[in-house]
Structure 1
């Protein structure tokens, strides 16, 4: 008989984590296609979506990376037979993403990212996370022990396309410089 807490996690908590990750990503993608947030309410909404995505991304990265940080942590192999993860949080891209998440979203620290290029951008970094987590969800579901086969999410997998822009920074000015044989002739 499976542990009662594991039954609750597989039946409620894990599907919730996955569903909210997918739903916040889709909503951020939708919001990014609209014009930039104008009022404080729109900014607060977008920031809340970014933070929600990041909370669930970090939780699922840890779960599917299949390594316990604390003895009480629940990981993918608690529910599966033969599950082998492709996620390694000690290697790129997850190594730097976890640092971005921890320093920008979860902690007030002197190491906080102040340069936009070093900040976690859901449109770029989040797209990468989703591209790498979706296959792990499928492998996980295929390797479930019989007592956990009831696992089901309310959302389906997201086929992630091109990254979109959804960071908390504003783009003030952008200059595109073309190089190579197809670039226009430069005037001096």
Structure 2
């Protein structure tokens, strides 16, 4: 077996090519990755770019090396932007969690609050699963989790206001904070 971790094979569409004139033909490029000792699981999907430059324009003065570094910097800045959005989303979810806990903490024995806490736990599990998978990006499912939690909390706030008229002013203030939070998302 080959001791190299990667093997690139070029498979032409026909077995022979003339070298006395310009010839165009299709090829299949097959890239094989061999298992490396010490790896007990496969990695995730990998983007691959193969550049074939026969013009000579990249020769001299390490132009190809500079192009590779520039591409790496571009990929790095995209990754940083994605991670900044992810950190912003985590902060945003934290603010939502604080509002929900603030609403629920004095009414934990109420059935609707217990139902709300189930929705709350699901949203926390969603975050935990994302962390375990090292997913540092934000998608529509993340927004749906937060919106669902806020809408559920607003419904609970309405029911608590009806059931506890003595706490009306405090609960209305908490409900307004939840509404403002929801409005900031949509």
What is the TM-score of this pair, normalised by structure 2? 0.36
Structure with greater contact order relative to length (CA < 8 Å, sep ≥ 6): 1
Query: Rg bigger for which structure?
Result: 2
Structure with higher helix content: 2
Bigger proportion of residues as strand? 2
